[in-house]
Amino acid sequence: MADPLKLGIAGLGTVGAGVLDLLAQRGGALASNAGRGVAISGVSARDKNKKRAVDISSFQWFDDPVALARCDDIDVFVELIGGEEGAAKASVEAALKAGKHVVTANKALLAYHGLALARLADENGVALNFEAAVAGGIPAIKTIRESLLANNISRVYGILNGTCNYILTRMQKQGRNFDEVLREAQDAGYAEADPSFDIDGHDTAHKLTLLTTLAFGVEASIDTIYVEGIRSISLADIVAADELGYRIKLLGIALKTGSGIEQRVHPTMVPKNTAIAEVDGVMNCVAFDSDFAGDVMLIGPGAGARPTASSVLSDILDIARGTIMPPFGRATNSLKAYERARMHAHEGGYYIALSVFDRPGAFAAIAGRMAEQDISLESIVQHRPRAALPGLDARTDDGSPLPVVMITHETTEAAIRAALRIIEKEGNVNEPPRMIRIEKM
């Protein structure tokens, strides 16, 4: 058997500890499967003396992760520090320049600097593997980079953030409002004290950037993604969606269109009878529409020590076997320039929620504005008196607003936005209209 593959691991938090635990439990079996053992030559973290669930006393300690990355006694630098700049970026760059393979779970680093780091890996003939950076234990990267390599992918999409999925699931199943469920998620450890990165869609956008580059062979950038989070989703929207046969999910979507590639993160209504509608709680899913393999969907845990460690070790074992692939599935210099589709040219159906003053001519005016933009309505629902909907006031007979929900046939985002601007300006509604896109599954 060949000499062991020597690792330097920087970052001993949840994922780092999970990697050490997995190696301790399965090291012998992993060596047998890979045809080569895996050994830890050094570790680095912020605090050497911090109490940890795993014993690190037998490993060489490095205060500086950059020094570990350059160490002659390692073959693979495993970056589990996190963050798009600072020590994570400096140490990964140092490792690649020193001819070390790199395995990372750092989605933020790759979303902002992935292309530059991939070029460094290509120049130095080493691997830059990042299976754990997208959807935890789901093998999304390998599926695109290896299993679907012979296919043309037309769309990649999914539920890529467990925090948001947990909140929306609880709202739907328990009839509770957003703020209450968010507090519960924070207490349970599913959401950070400052949840903005998750609930405002930025975490999903980081992951979508990587999936877009892999799926379409383009130099995607996180700055080209339309991002909208779930703060605006009310319990009334959840109830209305359910009555109309839908579930609301935060999706990341990248789609080939006639005008370029459309990338967007936003709350989305999906039909109840689809597989993605049943992905609940903290689970993630990643799906691909391809020409020869057809529609492929992967579902599994998107975070956590064990699932993420599993993906990290999968990348390490590829290197142990001698499987070195370009980071984005093709030589970085062959990636095409990214051509951004205009977001307002997006086509699809829409859910529109209005609070309409109950007075003569109000609804006729709204319908007229829709018709002026060639928007065809599939259904119109005037709900029960407002007291029957959580969070809404009861109807009075003095012209007070009533909730009205409209579902449109396929139209353009530009048309919807134009109609809603005029509707809001004319004063027949007492609050800004809410819009949620409907995605074909």
Phi–psi pair at 293, nearest 5 degrees = -80, -15
- Distance, in Å, from the CA atom of 45 to the CA atom of 60, rounded to the nearest integer, reads 12
* Residue 3, amino acid: D
- Distance, in Å, from the CA atom of 196 to the CA atom of 416, rounded to the nearest integer, reads 27
In terms of DSSP H, where are the helices of 134-254? 140-142, 162-174, 178-187, 196-199, 202-216, 235-243
C-beta of residue 283 within 8 angstroms of C-beta of residue 299:
yes
- Distance, in Å, from the CA atom of 285 to the CA atom of 136, rounded to the nearest integer, reads 10
207 is annotated as an active-site residue: yes
76: Cβ contacts below 8 Å, ≥ 6 apart: 5, 6, 7, 8, 100, 101, 102, 103, 316, 319
DSSP 116-179: HHHHHHHHHT--EE-GGGSSTTS-HHHIIIIITTTSPEEEEEEE--HHHHHHHHHHHHH---HH
- Distance, in Å, from the CA atom of 105 to the CA atom of 83, rounded to the nearest integer, reads 10
Beta bridge partners of 166: none
- Distance, in Å, from the CA atom of 66 to the CA atom of 84, rounded to the nearest integer, reads 15
Phi–psi pair at 124, nearest 5 degrees = -105, 5
Phi–psi pair at 381, nearest 5 degrees = -125, 120
Which residue matches tokens 């975070």? 303
- Distance, in Å, from the CA atom of 439 to the CA atom of 267, rounded to the nearest integer, reads 10
Q: Given 207, 249, 336, 425, which residue is catalytic?
A: 207
* Residue 280, amino acid: D
Which sign does the torsion angle of CA 297, 301, 302, 308 carry? negative
Provide the annotated active-site residues: 207
